[in-house]
Amino acid sequence: MSLAASQSALPGAAFLVTGAARGIGAAIARQLAASGARVVATDHPSNAAGIDALVKEHGDIVAAPLGDVIEEDTRRAILRGAEEAAGPAGLRGLVNNAGVGVFSPVLGGSEPDEVRRCFAVNTAAPLRLAQLFAETRVSRQAQGSIVNVSSQASSICFPNHTAYSVSKAALDQVTRHLAVELGPRGIRTNAVLPTVVLTEMGRTAWPDGAPHTAAMLSKIPLGRFAQPTDIASVVAFLLDDARSGMVNGALLPVDGGFLCYG
């Protein structure tokens, strides 16, 4: 075992990652597995191929039941399946990464159903999954860690981002309230606030050479967008009780300094 591994609480621990089929979620799953953790991965059924690929890629990644996290029966099934897959010690942590984007103007923009789904996926589902996870940890009299994947958009205004930004701002407050209420039970809750991340979707929305891409990059002191691995490494740190055991209620920007201008 390396010195780094001996100073980490991740090896042998089990973590549930939602939205794990691609992008940031897949990077988080890979990072945790590479750190010696057991990863239980889930996503929407439409992304089943991505989960299958992760499971085949790494022996320490297993699949939880797939489903839409806005459904209560689905959430309960995911947690039950994940606890079973985690083994006798149960899940040590939860990563609420599943999310949706709604980007349209206030006037003549998003349909009510789109807005409702945005809040259901980005805010209500993480809260409920955290509740279910915490109930199990408390029943075991065991510690745990929750990381919510938020956004820099929770803290600053962007055109056409109203529903998305507000849903993530609400998630930030969920994070802080969970930190206060669950902290005394030994469960830490934190959030990461990424800038633009160069996933497949991110590269499409922010292509090289586009004027809006250049404008955005000019506001990031480090001069680049994030890679999925940039986010994954911070999430792994926040899940690791040996390295971040006193971090609770943090809203941690992973934005190259973008919010310093905010």
Identify whether 164 is a catalytic site residue: yes
Q: Which of 103, 119, 164, 258 is catalytic?
A: 164
Among left, alpha and beta (phi > 0; psi -120 to 50; other), residue 141 is left
Asked if residues 169 and 128 have their Cβ atoms less than 8 Å apart, the reply is: no
Residue 205 half-sphere exposure toward CB, CA atoms < 13 A: 12
CA distances from 210 to 118, 141, 203, 217, 226 (A): 27, 52, 11, 11, 17
Amino acid 239 reads: L
Please, what is the angle between helix 23-34 and helix 48-57, to 10°?
20
Instruction: List residues with catalytic annotation.
Output: 164
